[in-house]
Amino acid sequence: MLYRKWGNESDFVIRFTSSWDKDRKMVEEVKLVMLVHVLELTRVGALDRKLSARVVKSLEEFEMEGEGYEDVHEGLEAFLIDRIGQEAGAIGLGRSRNDHVATALRIRMRSSVLELLKLILELRRTALSRAKDSIHILFPTFTHLQQAQPSTFAHYMLHIDEELSTIWQSLFCSLKSLNRSPLGAGATVGTQVPLDRIREAKALGFDDVLVNSLSASSSRLDLLQVSSMLTLYVLTLSRFAEDLVVYSTLGIIELPDTHVSTSSLMPQKRNPVTAEVARAKASDAIGHLVALFTNYKGLPTGYNLDLQEMNPHYWELSDIAINTTIVLEDIVKHLKVKENSVEGFLSPYTLATDEAERRALGGVPYRTAHAKVASEVSQGIFSPTINFQQSISLKRVVGSPSPTVLSKDLERGWRRLEEDEENYTRYRTAVEERLKSVEEWKNELLR
Ligand code: ARG
């Protein structure tokens, strides 16, 4: 116990208020932030070079062992003092856990967002490849979960790509506010030590600093922004998961064996378990987002320990988004469209709209044609003049399943994907390049 000097600490209170176990998720980031702080203290002459070199070496050996600490920051400082002696307490100058946790949290979030962005790009690539191979593969569309009009599987896959790219762009943009460094903001108003916050930010891979020290030490707006995006993303995946359940139930797709499980009693069952769990994970995600929002609502400006309780919700949310993406990508890659079943499944009545449109284009008011075809359908005397493939080919507008139109949309999808991949790689490389400067800085000190 390093920070509670009055000596009345009780186990159950520490256990209740400590974030020690939850902090494991960002221990490496906490060490990195401490490293940069120590290097900067040394650079400005506030820390003795020899002592600093010893701290830097010991820092590498820190592992989260033991218990009774309020958090990883206390555990780390106690470890360094234990290793080096009381003089290691010098590293407490010019820093607060408030700016340190805010910084480590951002670095950890940046990694998880980058990981997820990469996985979504892979999922988009898979969806586009499936679209490319299924331009002529018949598939139903539904409104109100009733058969609507004939389409193709490629068209459905391009829908998935469209949704994913929309979210991808927003998530990628959120890096802009997320990737700013709070380090150097101290507990609330900065410090007398002339730390170069911009230099520290660069060494930690940030694009910029989160300027105002109150914001830097106590804002979680960016965490909420990313969490909202993650939740929207998982919600989108849950609709897709539901489609997989419905389509496999209707027998028009076959889910890969690895993603279905049987019943312990009913031998014929192929239950779409992966898709069901994916669907349910979205509820957990909403729960975490609601917890984050309600935690943040009405919090007074400046650091409050409530903020600590937000972190684990973010870890969970991010794991849900990442893991759901991985399993769904595997399903998209391996599912089969059962073409014969689709033929048998599609009702000829899904051609009723084409018939009404044909008559309307021939001069009959659409409302009249609509009523006439509806009455033919209800009397059971409707007989289509075209087949499903012809119906699909007749569609003219951008975004429709007609092979000539869809091929262009597919091209557009590939171009958009390649552009996003390039932007992603450029961004990631820039972050990694900046991070390399810490090593150089460290070696300079240790020389
Ligand atoms: N463990 C806290 C967190 O994760 C940081 C500690 C801030 N504590 C304090 N007394 N100011 O947010």
Q: Is 213 in the pocket of ligand 1 (CB under 6 A)?
A: no
Q: What is the pLDDT of residue 412?
A: 98
Tokens standing for 22?
A: 């939850």
Q: Which atom of ligand 1 is nearest to the CA of 23?
A: 4
- Find the DSSP H helices in 183-272: 197-203, 213-218, 221-249
* Region for residue 370 given its phi and psi (left: phi exceeds 0; alpha: psi -120 to 50; beta: otherwise): alpha
Tokens standing for 351?
A: 């051609």
Closest residue by Cα to residue 350 from 401, 397, 399: 401
Question: Please, what CATH class does the domain formed by 11-93 belong to?
Answer: mainly alpha
Q: Is 218 in the pocket of ligand 1 (CB under 6 A)?
A: no
> Which 3 state secondary structure label does DSSP give 353?
helix
- CA–CA gap between residue 303 and residue 300 (Å, rounded): 8
Question: From ligand 1's centre to the CA of 68, what distance in Å?
Answer: 15
Listed by start position, the domains of the chain span 11-93, 105-188+211-344+407-433, 350-387
- CA–CA gap between residue 431 and residue 429 (Å, rounded): 5
Tokens standing for 272?
A: 């779409």
Question: From ligand 1's centre to the CA of 307, what distance in Å?
Answer: 8
Kindly report the protein residue whose alpha carbon is nearest to atom 3 of ligand 1: 308
First to last CA, the chain: 34
The DSSP bridge pattern shows strands 180-181 and 208-209 to be parallel
Q: What is the pLDDT of residue 33?
A: 98
Q: Is 69 in the pocket of ligand 1 (CB under 6 A)?
A: no
- CA–CA gap between residue 118 and residue 28 (Å, rounded): 22
Q: Is 97 in the pocket of ligand 1 (CB under 6 A)?
A: yes
Question: From ligand 1's centre to the CA of 400, what distance in Å?
Answer: 53
Q: Is 19 in the pocket of ligand 1 (CB under 6 A)?
A: yes
- CA–CA gap between residue 331 and residue 258 (Å, rounded): 9
Question: From ligand 1's centre to the CA of 113, what distance in Å?
Answer: 23
Q: What is the DSSP letter of 268?
A: T
Kindly report the protein residue whose alpha carbon is nearest to atom 6 of ligand 1: 97
- CA–CA gap between residue 26 and residue 34 (Å, rounded): 12
- CA–CA gap between residue 26 and residue 35 (Å, rounded): 14
Residues catalogued as catalytic: 144, 263
Name residues whose C-beta falls within 8 Å of residue 396's C-beta, 6 or more positions apart in sequence.
Answer: 402, 405
Q: What is the pLDDT of residue 68?
A: 86
Q: Is 103 in the pocket of ligand 1 (CB under 6 A)?
A: no
Q: What is the DSSP letter of 300?
A: P
| Fold entry, domain 105-188+211-344+407-433 | Fumarase C; Chain A, domain 2 (1.20.200)
Q: What is the pLDDT of residue 67?
A: 83
Q: Is 134 in the pocket of ligand 1 (CB under 6 A)?
A: no
- CA–CA gap between residue 1 and residue 151 (Å, rounded): 66
- CA–CA gap between residue 74 and residue 345 (Å, rounded): 64
Kindly report the protein residue whose alpha carbon is nearest to atom 11 of ligand 1: 98
Per-residue pLDDT of the chain (447 residues; tens, 9 = 90+): 688 766 566 788 888 999 999 999 999 999 999 999 999 999 999 999 999 999 999 999 999 998 889 999 999 999 999 999 999 999 999 999 999 999 999 999 999 999 999 999 999 999 999 999 999 999 999 999 999 999 999 999 999 999 999 999 999 999 999 999 999 999 999 999 999 999 999 999 999 999 999 999 999 999 999 999 999 999 999 999 999 999 999 999 999 999 999 889 989 999 999 999 999 999 999 999 999 999 999 999 999 999 999 999 999 999 999 999 999 999 999 999 999 999 999 999 999 999 999 999 999 999 999 999 999 999 999 999 999 999 999 999 999 999 999 999 999 999 999 999 999 999 999 999 999 999 999 998 877
Across-strand partners of 271? Answer: 261
As a residue count, the chain comes to 447
- CA–CA gap between residue 252 and residue 158 (Å, rounded): 18
Q: Report CA torsion sign: 51, 52, 53, 55.
A: positive
Which residue of 21, 73, 109, 313 sits with most ligand 1 atoms within 8 Å of its CB, as the best mutation to test the pocket? 73
- Residue type at position 318: S
* Region for residue 149 given its phi and psi (left: phi exceeds 0; alpha: psi -120 to 50; beta: otherwise): beta
Q: What is the pLDDT of residue 5?
A: 65
Query: In this structure, are residues 176 and 222 in contact, taking their beta carbons and an 8 Å threshold?
Result: no
Give the CB-side neighbour count of residue 274, counting CA atoms within 13 A: 21
Kindly report the protein residue whose alpha carbon is nearest to atom 1 of ligand 1: 71
Give the CB-side neighbour count of residue 21, counting CA atoms within 13 A: 4
Kindly report the protein residue whose alpha carbon is nearest to atom 5 of ligand 1: 97
Question: From ligand 1's centre to the CA of 81, what distance in Å?
Answer: 20
Q: What is the pLDDT of residue 8?
A: 62
